Structure 1
Amino acid sequence: MEGERSNENLDWQDDPHIGLIPRSISQLFDTLKNQDKRFSISVSFLELYNEEAYDLLSPVADTTRLKIFDDAQRKGSVIVNGLQEIDVKSKDAIYEILRQGSLKRQTAATLINACSSRSHTIFSITIHIKETTPSGEELLKIGKLNLVDLAGSENIGRSGALDKRAREA
């Protein structure tokens, strides 16, 4: 997501080295803006840390573990009970949500990286598009884009990871 940058400097708009998530957000909004269709977008931000799930967009600073279930009604889908989904209207709103969520992410210093991500994250963007067919029928199309950032895999000897950090690696 941020590459080698620390979580303290998340200015994606002017960064020529921005990652896949900010680029995807920009492309998505630019594409939707140029179409003559009504749409809405919502986002969620899930952290997986030491085999537990956490909501990076939760308005409270707690660390309540989320429960993940298979969706019995839709094969291959999962439900994350309690995960916040926030409606957004612009790229800037998503960038700010991404920035705030990234600041809550589990990070730690190692000998190799001053701000090493210790967790996996899934930033999900759900899009609802309303279209009207030539016959006047209204259609609702729903799509979901899951953007995954995997925690770094480190050489324990080179990174100096001990105890808790060694288990994370």
Structure 2
Amino acid sequence: MEQRIGSSSQPLEGAGFDPAFIPGLTSPVSDEAEEARAEEAGDADADEPTDAAAEPEEAVEEEAPDGPVLEASDRRAKFIADHQGIRLSLDDQACEFRWDEIGAVETETPRFGKRFTITVHTPDRRWYPIEIEAESRARFAEWDEQLDAVMDKYFEDETPETKEEEPEESD
């Protein structure tokens, strides 16, 4: 008679068990991790790819437009909205959304307390909330104004239907 050791059930899949299941929720592999893997493999050419990877990052920083930016953070959470899109991070987890991946952005200020909630909604009906603890409630208005400026500059809410409804000038 054959006897099996261990569980006969298969591992579950999905976002509840694997954060990488949701696209954009986990960050891509960093240059440091790639460099460590290259050293472990013993590649002699490991220095060349890291130098090449560092050059585009510097170029991106130089080409960043002088537009509005919102950076809000506390000891655990961080929210950044700029020309690239929106980036959320909580502890060691991070996700980023380009402007074309965002359906809406919602803010919520509590009646009591100092936790400011920002929720990013995607077109496929998923939402990603993050709470940031402010030093004072006065920061809520400042963050709302900065987020409005960023959204006005980079987020395009026009759909083809609204463009068609605009009246055309005729002589």
TM-score, scaled relative to structure 2: 0.24
Larger radius of gyration: 2
Q: Which has the higher contact order (CA 8 A, sep 6+)?
A: 1
Structure ranking higher in strand proportion: 1
